[in-house]
Amino acid sequence: MPNSSIKNEKMYEDLRKQGDSKEKAARISNAAAARGKSAVGRKGGKSGSYDDWTVAELKKRAEPGNDVSATAATVDVIIGPTLDDNGVHWRVRARTSQYPIVQVAPLRASLAGREFTEAEDVVKVQGLALVRIEVWPWWWPRLPFFDSRLRISVDTATSATSASP
């Protein structure tokens, strides 16, 4: 049904099918008819990559003491691009894994001089899992007394947990 206040009926109907309100669809279609689609779409677009933005947002939302895995991040488009007076907008959902940030210096200090059998208990208190201990020379009965001689490697893939949405 033609409406004299709508300047671009086809765009209006497409926007309504996408779920936009009547007011929003009318605003977008009239702006596109008056200034052209490319001019209205060019008005926005000042933010960076959505992948970078959502990972940064996920880092802000991570639990205290945790970090997020940028390589495990996925971004799903929920609603495709919509044209607005402010530019083009997408509704997206981002997910990733989070893992505890390892405080290496205190962990190193608490492990120094301990026997190998005690090391796993010390690491569990930190919320981590001990995977491997390498010692040179092989016959040495305990960890070095000087914490500067301990090298700790963290594998985030083994300690990753699911992030909250």
Residue-wise pLDDT for 59-83, tens only, equals: 787 788 888 877 777 778 777 788 8
Decide if pLDDT at 88 tops 80.
Answer: yes
The structure tokens listed for 97 are 């894994």
Judged by average pLDDT, the poorest of 20-24, 51-55, 111-115, 123-127 is: 51-55
Which position has the higher pLDDT, 114 or 154? 114
Mean pLDDT of 101-123: 88
**pLDDT for the residue numbered 42:** 55
| Close Cβ partners of 99 (under 8 Å, ≥ 6 residues apart) | 66, 67, 68, 69, 156, 159, 160, 161
Residues in the chain: 165
Confidence of residue 102 (pLDDT cuts 50, 70, 90): confident
The structure tokens listed for 127 are 């919320």
| Close Cβ partners of 84 (under 8 Å, ≥ 6 residues apart) | 24, 27, 28, 44
State if pTM tops 0.75. no
